[in-house]
Amino acid sequence: MTGDVVRRAADALRRASTVTVLTGAGVSAASGIPTFRGKDGLWRKVRAETLATAEAFEHDPKLVWEWYDWRRGMIRDAQPNAGHTVLARWTRERSGTTVITQNVDGLHERANTHSITRLHGSIWHVRCWTGCARGREDWRDDTVPLPTLPPRCPHCGGLVRPGVVWFGESLDTSVLQRATAAAAGCDVFMAIGTSAVVYPAAELLPHARHGGATVIEINPEATNASGISDIVIRQRADEALARLDEML
Ligand code: OAD
């Protein structure tokens, strides 16, 4: 049964000139990074939606930074898995393949993914919270653990915030436009390892569908993406992608 589904997905991929892949936390699960809404997604019994907001940061920047510092440590020690590796190779070797990720962990980049759009920023980027002239743009900071929490802006001494998109914040307009165009204009759209509950990322699925794409979901669980998908592979991303890759 699963074999038939994977074969149908492979056929669709083989026929496609353009493939757009939307990834979520499930793609990094096999690297040991907990998903947000899975059973290990809570940190000190706090939900991501509670911590990843400007209000939480205003109220308790140290607590929010402790969460990010913990995740940065885990991510630094993790390695890209077969799912990241296969997708990365497709972006290098199969022209017309592009990855749009909700993940901030940088594992797609570490796997050498060539065409990638990051919807939610990067956990390795920071910027000045007060928006001082020199600290307004993101800069990269790979230090793990951070020596002081919350970290301070080297330019003005104010607070530094993670360079990620928090709940209630808008995505960068040009990033969202690029992602929407890639979803609306592709032959095959894949939703891999995402619960598809966070907008506007989840809106890319109907955009792809309306644009005429064949929609493929890879996820061991049923999600908001399942009903809108033409082909559903109920497997882990690393296993399903390795199998698909063999069949192409
Ligand atoms: P979620 O935690 O909401 O969903 C992860 C999905 O991965 C679930 O549907 C799981 O069933 C699935 N999953 C688990 N293990 C898997 C595996 N090995 N292979 C494939 N799938 C697997 O994560 P996202 O959908 O990425 O936002 O969440 C979206 C956004 O909400 C995140 O980007 C983050 C979060 O709050 C920000 O950081 C702004």
Q: Which domain holds residue 198?
A: 1-33+81-120+171-248
Distance CA 218, CA 209 (A): 16
Q: Could you tell me if 206 and 232 lie in one domain?
A: yes
Question: In the structure, how many helices (H) and strands (E) does the chain have?
Answer: 9, 9
Q: Could you tell me if 49 and 28 lie in one domain?
A: no
- For residue 133, CA distances in Å to 102, 127, 130, 160 come to 28, 11, 9, 13
Compute, in degrees rounded to 10, the torsion defined by CA atoms 202, 113, 91, 163.
30
pTM of the model: 0.97
Whole-number pLDDT of residue 38: 76
Q: Could you tell me if 93 and 132 lie in one domain?
A: no
Q: Could you tell me if 200 and 237 lie in one domain?
A: yes
Q: Is the CB of 235 within 6 Å of ligand 1?
A: no
CA of 29 to the centre of ligand 1 (A): 9
- For residue 37, what pLDDT band results from cuts at 50, 70 and 90? confident
Q: Could you tell me if 152 and 221 lie in one domain?
A: no
Q: Could you tell me if 177 and 241 lie in one domain?
A: yes
Rg (CA), the chain: 18
Q: Could you tell me if 50 and 160 lie in one domain?
A: yes
Q: Could you tell me if 136 and 104 lie in one domain?
A: no
pLDDT at 1 over 90: no
Q: Could you tell me if 10 and 115 lie in one domain?
A: yes
Domains in the chain: how many in total? Answer: 2
Q: Could you tell me if 202 and 228 lie in one domain?
A: yes
CA of 37 to the centre of ligand 1 (A): 6
Q: Whose CA is nearest to atom 23 of ligand 1?
A: 25
User: Which one of the listed residues 120, 155, 207, 210 is annotated catalytic?
Assistant: 120
CA of 133 to the centre of ligand 1 (A): 35
List, for residues 72-122, the tens digit of each pLDDT value: 999 999 999 999 999 999 999 999 999 999 999 999 999 999 999 999 999
For 168-176, what is the mean pLDDT? 96
Q: Is the CB of 10 within 6 Å of ligand 1?
A: no
Q: Is the CB of 195 within 6 Å of ligand 1?
A: yes
Whether 120 is catalytic is yes
Q: Is the CB of 220 within 6 Å of ligand 1?
A: yes
Distance CA 78, CA 179 (A): 27
Q: Could you tell me if 108 and 130 lie in one domain?
A: no
Distance CA 99, CA 194 (A): 13
Whole-number pLDDT of residue 140: 97
**What tokens appear for 206 in the block?**
């109907």
Task: Give the torsion sign (CA, 38, 50, 65, 153).
Answer: positive
Q: Could you tell me if 235 and 188 lie in one domain?
A: yes
- For residue 50, what pLDDT band results from cuts at 50, 70 and 90? confident
